[in-house]
A and B are shown apart, each in its own frame.
Chain A
Amino acid sequence: MDVRLTVEQQQLRDAAAKLADDLGPGSVAELADNARITRLDRQIEATGWRALRSDGASGVEVAIVAEEFGRGLIDAPFLGPVLADDLARHFGGPAGATIAANRHAIDARGFPRALRLDGTTVSLIDLDGAGTAIDLTRASAEITGSPVAVGDLDSDAAQRWVALALATTSADLVGAARGAHTLACDYAKIREQYGKSIGSYQAVAHLLAESLALIEGSISILRHAAWAVDELSPAEAIRAGRFAKVYCARAARTVCETAIQVHGGIGNTWECLAHVFLRRALTSTQLWPVKLEEIDVGLP
Chain B
Amino acid sequence: MDFRDSADEAAFRQRLRSWLSLHARDFPSSGDEYWARQGEWHSALYEGGFFGLSWPREYGGQELPPVYDVILDEELARAAAPPRPSLGYLVAGLSRHASKELCSRFLPGMINGTERWCQGFSEPGAGSDLASLTTTATREGENYVINGHKIWTSYSDVADWCLLLARTDPDAKRHRGISAFIIPMKQPGVQQRPLQMINGVTTEFGQVLFDGATVPVENMVGAPGEGWPLAMTVVGHEREPSTLGYAARYGKLVRQLAARIDGPADEELAWAAVQTEMLTHHVRRRLSEQLDGVTHTSDGSLDKLLMTWVEQSVGHAALAVGGIDDPNSLSAYLYSRAQSVMGGTSQIQKNIIASRILGL
Contacts and interface: CB of A to CB of B under 8 A. Distances in A.
Interface of A: 1-6, 9, 60, 185, 188-189, 197, 199-200, 202, 204-206, 208-210, 212-213, 216-221, 223-224, 227-228, 231, 243, 246-247, 292-293, 295-299
Contacts of B1: 2-6, 9, 60, 223, 227
Contact of B270 (A218, A219, A227, A295): A295
B262 interface: no
A2 B360 contact: no
A3 B283 CA distance: 10
- Name, among A206, A209, A216, the residue most crowded by chain B CB atoms within 10 Å (CB to CB): A209
A200 B288 contact: no
A296 B291 CA distance: 32
Contact of B282 (A217, A292, A299): A217
A1 B284 contact: yes
Given A204-B360, A297-B273, 7 more contacts: A202-B354, A209-B350, A217-B275, A224-B3, A227-B2, A297-B265, A298-B259
Contact of A247 (B257, B278, B299, B360): B278
A3 B360 contact: no
B265 A223 contact: no
B354 A205 contact: yes
Contacts of A200: 360
B247 to A, nearest CB: 10
Given A1-B6, A217-B282, A221-B282, A299 B302 contact: no
B281 A224 contact: yes
B305 interface: yes
B3 A4 contact: no
Contacts of A298: 255, 258-259
Contacts of A247: 274-275, 277-278
Contacts of A197: 360
B32 interface: no
The 4 A-B residue pairs whose C-beta atoms are closest, nearest first, are: A199-B360, A205-B354, A220-B282, A209-B353
Interface residues of B, number: 53
Contacts of A189: 359-360
Contact of A209 (B3, B279, B358): B358
A220 B278 contact: yes
Contacts of A223: 1, 281, 285
A165 B83 CA distance: 38
Given A189-B359, A205-B358, A292 B267 contact: yes
B129 interface: no
B353 to A, nearest CB: 4
Contacts of B357: 209, 212
- Name, among B251, B277, B351, B353, the residue most crowded by chain A CB atoms within 10 Å (CB to CB): B277
Contact of B2 (A2, A204, A219): A2
A208 B360 contact: yes
Nearest to A210: B350
Contacts of B306: 213, 216-217
B9 A1 contact: yes
Contacts of A216: 282, 299, 302-303, 306
B276 interface: yes
B254 to A, nearest CB: 6
Given A295-B273, A299-B255, A206 B350 contact: yes
Contacts of A212: 302, 353, 357-358
A216 B271 CA distance: 17
Nearest to A242: B274
21 contacts: A1-B284, A3-B281, A4-B291, A188-B360, A202-B351, A202-B354, A205-B350, A205-B351, A206-B350, A209-B350, A209-B351, A212-B302, A213-B302, A220-B281, A221-B281, A223-B1, A223-B285, A243-B273, A297-B273, A298-B255, A299-B276
- Name, among B254, B258, B354, the residue most crowded by chain A CB atoms within 10 Å (CB to CB): B354
Contacts of A295: 265, 270, 273-274
B220 interface: no
A198 to B, nearest CB: 9
A213 B282 CA distance: 11
Given A220-B284, A223-B285, A185 B360 contact: yes
B3 A3 contact: yes
B101 interface: no
Contacts of B303: 216
A6 B306 CA distance: 26
A189 B354 CA distance: 11
A293 B264 contact: yes
B264 to A, nearest CB: 5
Interface string B283-299: 01101110110000001
